[in-house]
A and B are shown apart, each in its own frame.
Chain A
């Protein structure tokens, strides 16, 4: 168990920067999720922490020790790979033991740890099988087991669930969360799936093109996205970003912080009836109604600018497609952004 600190961490491949100076402090036992679109540098960042990529500049501290020059095995970390990377010619037991044997762990200790990990992950019956005889979910467990037996200072997860089908992914997500809570091991978890990120994380690190856009708890990031990128990336369907100029007929500019030229409105912040609180009203025409069970997604086009936005409304409203409606949003639910800086306009 340990803290992890990244200080001005940079990585470039030749002239191309992949990670452009990241600072991050991970508390002991915390689960940090690095999330962002592909190519944003999140995997590179994780691989630098693991020691699988060299560091161009900056430093990495695990448990207060600078490990930039250390080999992966000397960093006291364990990694779970996207394709599991189980040794195909070894049995499950062999896979679990390999790292411990290399470190010269005594036999009884190895047996104890393998038994414990197998109990935790319920793979005791699979110990003598080869990886190819396992299903995707079982391989995933073995990969986790290989990390657990090491009893490392930190777990590093590199998109561990992206090879599983949707149902199994949800189930394993819950299990990873429970496991991490139980073991209280500091963890870094990389994913491009924002739902996975939201549900797993103690704190989220949203990355875009090599830079950290925002660090915060999932609720913080969702409720107060710091940049336009985060606003558009976190949340499904994504936040609607509407230029202030197309809010014609609404007396909103007075209530917005100076410098605001884009307002973000979450799909579920819209209502179809005018609320009691101060609100804005937008005239729009309905293009498509998508019922998705408990709620419906309403695709409408704003009359003022022709911009398409998405609303999420509870139940299945009786609205004819190609009809004109007025949608309302409380002023308190608006997220003011400055297009120029790309950042929140009301940040302290």
Chain B
């Protein structure tokens, strides 16, 4: 369908630009709001151009936070979120790689059963098992701790399944050649399988990092100590002020900051991801 019709080109661009505008406008509005003073945004007339308070607003929210909402400074919450998202992504990838490796390359009793049990957990999202999971975490004394935030979210059927499907596409001869070349199971995994999975790992890291970053309900449940608040649940807390107008200019500054890491991860990993796609060939 490579046709040269100016009208079609115009139309497709129009649709694309309209789409981009619809997506970008609220983000733009949030940014604008974060550059104005306290009263500006609720005065009835929403400004569309940046105001003079950018540096002031951001440094306030970054260093001090909103003491009235009982939330710690943003940088604390950002660090918590970052730690949680990275640990979840890395943990998920490590565990999924190993379990997929076991399921595909080793013959053990009930191998298929093991695979199906993992696969079935796909049907149970976090929300469904949240009460029992909470009970377990609470009984283990992991409330208000990083372990409590991270561990229950690490097991991943999706990633295991993806790696399994990928490993199945790798020709058996490669494993056989490695065996003849004297590579044991761990050596084969490290020297052959891991480098070949690079692209998949990069792609999954992006997805899983964002998955970890946007977790809302779980951090809300297991943290009551503000030292362990994550940014996504923290924003909700910033906006909820009991008897005054929310300080939207500061909330929006927090929103913009919360958006940055996932965007950076996508931008940075996408390069690696595309590079891997172009380079790898089986």
Contacts and interface: CB of A to CB of B under 8 A. Distances in A.
B127 interface: no
Q: Which label, helix, strand, loop or mixed, suits the secondary structure of the A interface?
A: loop
A119 interface: no
B173 A73 contact: no
A77 interface: yes
Q: Which label, helix, strand, loop or mixed, suits the secondary structure of the B interface?
A: helix
A285 B177 CA distance: 55
A85 B179 contact: no
B171 A83 contact: yes
Interface in A74-130: 77-79, 81-83, 85-89, 98-99, 102-103, 130
Contacts of A103: 182
Given A88-B280, A98-B191, A82 B173 contact: yes
B196 interface: yes
Given A102-B187, A103-B182, A85 B196 contact: no
A52 B176 contact: yes
Interface string A51-91: 11000000000000000000111000111011101111100
A276 to B, nearest CB: 57
A50 interface: yes
Contact of B173 (A77, A85, A130, A146): A85
Given A88-B282, A89-B195, A89-B196, A79 B171 contact: no
Contacts of A184: none
A87 B179 contact: no
Contact of A52 (B179, B191, B198): B179
A50 B177 CA distance: 10
A86 to B, nearest CB: 8
B181 interface: yes
A209 to B, nearest CB: 24
Given A98-B191, A102-B187, A132-B281, A87 B174 contact: yes
Contact of B176 (A81, A89, A98): A81
A99 B183 CA distance: 8
Contacts of A82: 173
A99 B281 CA distance: 22
A85 B171 contact: yes
Given A88-B282, A89-B196, A98-B191, A50 B180 contact: yes
B192 interface: yes
29 contacts: A50-B176, A52-B176, A52-B179, A71-B179, A72-B176, A72-B180, A73-B183, A78-B180, A79-B176, A79-B180, A81-B173, A85-B171, A85-B173, A85-B176, A86-B177, A87-B174, A87-B178, A88-B280, A88-B281, A89-B192, A89-B195, A89-B196, A98-B181, A98-B191, A99-B180, A102-B182, A102-B187, A103-B182, A130-B279
Interface of B: 171, 173-174, 176-183, 187, 191-192, 195-196, 198, 279-282
Given A52-B179, A72-B180, 5 more contacts: A51-B180, A73-B181, A99-B181, A102-B181, A102-B187
